[in-house]
Structure 1
C-alpha cells in the first residue's frame, strides 16, 4: 500500500493537564488515559510552563483559577514564546466566571465549564487535536515545499552557471577563432542562458513572496525595448522557409 509523504505518523497524543486541585487532575487523567491519550500533570502555572518548554505537548488542558500564576497568564506566556510549536489550549472555568472572552483573547482555543461533563470534554479534546494535526500537517507540507524549491533551484543553477562560463570562454576565443555567425550564435546562447538563470532566481523569489518572506517592488519597464529584445533573441531561430515582419510601435 502506498502512503502519502504527508501522512501523520501514528503516535499517541500527549495532553498536559494543569490544575491546582489534585482530585481534578487525577479524575481528568483517568478519563483521558481510558481514551488512549498520554497524560502529564502540573499543579501550577510555573510547573506547566517548565514542562511545556521541556517537551511541548499536543494539547494543554488548563484551569483558569490557580494561585500565583493563573491560566490567563500561562496562556499569554505560551503564545508569546516563538520557540514553541502551536498547541491548542483548552481552558476550564467555573460557571460564575464571566471572563471567558478574556481567555480567548489571550490565545486560548476553547473553554469548558466546571463541573466538567466527560462526553463534552472528550469531544472538545478530539476537536482541538484535529486542529493540532491539521496545523502540523500544513507546517510539514510547507517545510517540504521549501526544501523542494531550494533543491530545485540549486540543481538548475549549477548547469546554467557552468554553461555560462563555457560559452563566455568560447566567445573570448579560448577554443580558437570563430566565424561571425558562430559568434552571433554564442552571444544569443549566452543571453538565453542568462534569461534561464534569471527565471530560476525568479522562481525562488516567487516562492519567498508566497511564503510571506518577500515583498513586491514594482519598477517601470519600457515595453518597446523589451519587445525589441525578444525579436532579437528569436531572430536567429526563424525558419528558413519564410520570415515574418514584426513592427514595434513606440507610443
Structure 2
C-alpha cells in the first residue's frame, strides 16, 4: 500500500465488534486519517455532539441502538452545523440497506470489507463532504459580503437624502423650477435605492438568523390607519381611492407583534397595491376571526392558536397569472409586470408573517385584481414570541 501525505480528515468508526473496529482503524490510519471509535450508537451520538467529524463509518446491525436509528438521529434530531456523510457497514446476509439510505445515509459497504473498496468509498464521501463544505463557505462569504455592502451603502445614501432635502427646503438658496424638478427626481430615486438596500439588509438578517423581534401589543387598526396616511399621497397621484373596512370590534384588533416589522409588512403590501393599480381603488379589510377546526386545517395554522385577525389588501389592478402566484413569495422572484421590483419585497413579507406565527396568501385573477390575505394570531405568550 502506497503511503500518502497525512490528512486532516476525521473519521468516526462505529461498530460493536472490536475486531472490525481494529481492522478498519488500521487501514484508515495507514492512509493518514485521524480515527476515533465508538462501540455503540449512543456513544457515537455523544461524540458527535462534542466533536463533529468529517465522515461516519456506521455498522448497521448493533445491539441497543442500530445503525438505522443512529442515521435517523444524525440527520433529524441532532442540530449539526455541518453536513457529515454516513457510510453504512453491513453483513452480506443483513436486511436490505435501502431503509438506511432513505433515512439519510450516503453509501454502504458489505462485510468482509476489502481495502481497495473501503478506501475508494471513503475518498468518494470525503470529496462530497469537502464539496459541500466549500459551497457552504462560499454562501457564508456571500452573505457576509451582502451584509457589509448594504451597511456601507446606507451611509452615503442617507447622507445624500439629507442633502437633497436641504436643497428642496432652500437651505442653500432659491432654486429655479427646473432645478426643483431635477432635485425632486433625484430625491425620489435616492429614496427608492435606499429602500432596496434596507430590504436586502432585512432579508439577510432573517436568513442569517440575526433578526431579533421586539414583541408588544399592537393595535392593527391604528397601525393600518397610520400607514394609509403615509401612502395616501402616492394614491392621490394616481387618483386611487383607499378604503378602510374594519370590523366594529376595534378592541379586538390587537396582536402581539413587532410594530416596526408589521409596519414594514403592511407598507409593502399596500404600497404594492398602489404601485400596480392604475385605476379604481385599494381596500384594506381587518376582521377578527375565531377559527374553526376546518379553517385551522385549511391554513395549516399552529394547533395552539385559535383566534386570528385577518387583514386583506385588495386592489383593482391587472391581477397576477397563476404561474407567478406559485412562486410569488420566493426570493428574487420578479413578476412580469413592467413595474416589478427586486423580487425581495414579498419574500421579506412572508418571512415577517412567519416570524409572527401567521400565514400570507394570494387570491388573484387576471383582469380582476389581487387580494393579499394575512392571518396573524391575536394572542401569543411572550415566551413563545421570544423563542421565535
- Name the TM tier (shorter chain): 0.7 to 0.9
Residue 14, structure 1, aligned to residue 131, structure 2: no
Contact map agreement 2:7 2:33 (CA 8 A) in 1: no
Distance 1:124-1:27 versus aligned 2 partners, 3 A rule:
same
Please give the TM-score of this superposition, normalised by the length of structure 1.
0.76
Partner of 1:51: 47
Residue 26, structure 1, aligned to residue 17, structure 2: no
Q: CA deviation at 1:105?
A: 0.8
Paired residues for 1:97-108 under 5 Å: 97-108=94-105
Partner of 2:182: 185
Partner of 1:249: none
Partner of 2:151: 154
CA distance in 2, matches of 1:213, 1:31: 48
Specify which structure has the higher proportion of strand.
2
- 1:158-196 Cα shifts (integer Å, max 9, x gaps): 101110011112212233433333322221221222233
User: 181, 191, 196: which one pairs with 1:194?
Assistant: 191
Instruction: Report the secondary structure of 2:137's partner residue.
Output: helix
Stretches of structure 2 that go unaligned for 5 or more consecutive residues are: 1-5, 209-328, 341-388
Paired residues for 1:60-99 under 5 Å: 60-80=56-76, 81-99=78-96
Instruction: Report the secondary structure of 1:195's partner residue.
Output: helix
Contact map agreement 1:205 1:214 (CA 8 A) in 2: no
Partner of 2:371: none
Please give the TM-score of this superposition, normalised by the length of structure 2.
0.50
Stretches of structure 1 that go unaligned for 5 or more consecutive residues are: 1-9, 224-251
Partner of 1:42: 38
Contact map agreement 2:29 2:35 (CA 8 A) in 1: yes
- 1:122-172 Cα shifts (integer Å, max 9, x gaps): 110000000000000000001111111121122122101110011112212
Specify which structure has the higher proportion of helix.
1
Distance 1:201-1:37 versus aligned 2 partners, 3 A rule:
same
CA distance in 2, matches of 1:222, 1:141: 32
Distance 1:49-1:189 versus aligned 2 partners, 3 A rule:
same
Structure number, greater radius of gyration:
1
Q: CA deviation at 1:218?
A: 5.1
Partner of 1:115: 112
CA distance in 2, matches of 1:118, 1:202: 54
User: 305, 321, 331: which one pairs with 1:214?
Assistant: 331
How many residue pairs get matched? 213
Partner of 1:232: none
Q: CA deviation at 1:213?
A: 7.1
CA distance in 2, matches of 1:11, 1:26: 20
RMSD of Structure 2 on Structure 1 (CA): 2.9
Contact map agreement 1:100 1:111 (CA 8 A) in 2: yes
Q: CA deviation at 1:98?
A: 2.7
Q: Which has the higher contact order (CA 8 A, sep 6+)?
A: 1
